[in-house]
Amino acid sequence: MIRVLFVCLGNICRSPTAHGVFQKIIDDQNLSHLFQVDSAGTAAWHIGKTPDPRSQTAAQLRQYDLSGLSARQVEPEDFEKFDYILAMDHENLHNLQKICPSEYQSKLSLFLSFSDMNEDEVPDPYYGGAGGFERVLDLVESASLGFLKELTPGSKA
């Protein structure tokens, strides 16, 4: 089983979107038995809350369901438990690097390093309009397919 943790700041916009998108992609390809997928935030502001309604709406328009997710903060045991800990931006990657034990640092990376798009960060859409949530989905879909292709070369990603 490959364990994947998607991480942003508050775990209500970007990382739950990545969680939902990647989960649907692996479900659609009958690969969910190979993966455990989760998401978390580096900050504790939204623990227990569902994803931002704007994230949920944008995701629903593309057939992704985020409604069953709830925000949580990264925990020390996550570094041992997960095989891949994928940050949405440099700031959160840096925050993870500061709290991650040295033996698990190799598990940390930027999620968009798996994308074929020319960006390395998923921008935070929280203070913007609907277009920002659409952009997050574009980037997350690209990175999800690239990530899956790297992990399962025979997949339809």
Write down the catalytic residue from 8, 38, 72, 78. Answer: 8
Write down the catalytic residue from 13, 14, 52, 100. Answer: 14
Write down the catalytic residue from 38, 78, 89, 124. Answer: 124
Is residue 8 flagged as an active site residue? yes
Residues across the chain: 157
How many other CB atoms sit within 10 Å of the CB of residue 131? 10
Q: Determine how β-strand 2-8 pairs with β-strand 84-87.
A: parallel
Taking the C-alpha atoms of 3, 83, 6 and 155 in order, what is their torsion angle to the nearest 10 degrees?
-60
How many other CB atoms sit within 10 Å of the CB of residue 124? 18
Side chain identity, residue 25: I
Instruction: For residues 58 and 64, give the distance between their C-alpha atoms in angstroms, rounded to a whole number.
Output: 9
Residues serving a catalytic function are: 8, 14, 124
